Amino acid sequence: MTILTTLALMTSAVVAKLHESSDVEATRLQAKVDEFERKVADVERDLAALRLECDRWRASDFRPPQLLARTPELDEEFRAQQQTRALMAYAQQQTQAQQMQAQAQQMQMQMNQQYLGGLAQQSSQGAYEGFCNCVPARHDMFLPR
């Protein structure tokens, strides 16, 4: 055998040994990748479950979990509470609107009284003597004054 043949056989043996160790390493790394993929799938499943639960909470107006177990009695009680709240809010709005309307009417009456009082005072002082706010007739338009 020549040196080249011996060197070629030794190189192939070393390469085969390295190839075996790289296969073992690749298998070990693939197992880790599979484990990470399984963990990611678990996390995604948990995330989907949490999103569903979040949607349920939003749809139920943030009712506690014990009220999520739907029964007709709880649904009727919840509807009754919602109707009561809505009626109370409506009554409060109506009361506020009536109060604002009464205040506006009172302010209008005060302004009218002040205006009429001012007119009466001016007329009693003679501020309007000799003043006529009449519209002259058409034939009186061109008369000399």
pLDDT in tens, 90-130: 999 999 999 999 999 999 988 888 888 777 776 666 555 66
Residue 85 DSSP one-character state: H
CB 101 within 8 A of CB 94: no
Q: Kindly state the tokens that stand for 99.
A: 């109060």
Go through 123-132 and write b for each residue having 16 or more CB atoms within 10 A of its CB, e for each that does not.
eeeeeeeeee
Q: Bigger pLDDT: 130 or 79?
A: 79
Instruction: Report the predicted TM-score, pTM, of the whole model to 2 decimal places.
Output: 0.34
Alpha-carbon span 29 to 38, nearest angstrom: 14
Alpha-carbon span 79 to 102, nearest angstrom: 34
pLDDT at 103 (0 to 100): 92
User: Each residue of 17-67: pLDDT tens digit?
Assistant: 666 666 777 788 888 888 999 999 999 999 999 888 888 777 766 655 555
